[in-house]
Amino acid sequence: MGEGDYTITLDPLDGSGNFKSNFPYFGSSVALELDNDVKVGIVTNFATGTLYLKTKTLFQYTKLESIEFFDVVSNPYASIGIFERAYNSKIYAKKLKNSNYKYRIPGATALSLALTNQVQFFVYEGVMRSYDIRAGLFMCDGLYQHKEKDLTIICSKLNHFENLKKILL
């Protein structure tokens, strides 16, 4: 709306089903763009009070009550992934199960994307809505990504990425 050089993409309630169910995995996401290039992404989990902030040069998180920021780093101990909307999976859930990959389906896409460094992988089957993912995908810059019409795979480690591509594709 309006005029100006910047665009703001906002998902005011990421994980609305979780919110309605009082499941503590919901928040909001905001992307600030200039010339279709995200400059700042913010994803917040309202249930835990955690805010993730990414710019071109930093990726940090904080607890809202403290506002002391810490760098987001990869979790070397991750043994699960996130598979958003796996309950609608026609092909890929079975392939992951047959390959002994464990995953969770938390139900807030932008928040799950912001947490991709903390898990083995992020998988999404289907078409993602742009307002759901603009800020979250920005937080995955620098990670290994494969996107096609109905499948998105994102990993922080190359070995997981290559293995998942072999399994799923």
- In CATH, what number is assigned to the domain containing residue 104? 3.40.190.80
Q: Do residue 121 and residue 141 come from a single domain?
A: yes
Secondary structure element (H or E) that encloses residue 110, with its range = helix 109-114
Say if 76 falls within a structural domain.
no
Return the pLDDT at 157.
94
Return the pLDDT at 1.
65
Residues 15-72: pLDDT tens digits?
999 999 999 999 999 999 999 899 999 999 999 999 999 999 999 999 999 989 999 9
Range(s) of the domain holding residue 140? 81-168
Say if 144 falls within a structural domain.
yes
- In CATH, what number is assigned to the domain containing residue 42? 3.30.540.10
Q: Do residue 41 and residue 85 come from a single domain?
A: no
Say if 88 falls within a structural domain.
yes
What Cα–Cα distance (Å) separates residue 140 from each residue in 42, 58, 73? Answer: 12, 12, 12
Residues 70-80: pLDDT tens digits?
999 999 999 99
Q: Do residue 97 and residue 116 come from a single domain?
A: yes
Residue 137: CB atoms within 10 Å: 26
Q: Do residue 129 and residue 152 come from a single domain?
A: yes
CA quadruple 142, 148, 152, 153: dihedral sign = negative
How many domains is the chain partitioned into structurally? 2
Return the pLDDT at 128.
86
- Give phi and psi for 21, each to the nearest 5: -95, 0
Q: Do residue 91 and residue 164 come from a single domain?
A: yes
Say if 143 falls within a structural domain.
yes
Contact (Cβ atoms closer than 8 angstroms) between residue 74 and residue 156: yes
Contact (Cβ atoms closer than 8 angstroms) between residue 107 and residue 147: no
- Asked whether the predicted pLDDT for residue 153 surpasses 90, the reply is yes
**What's the mean pLDDT when you consider all of the chain?**
94
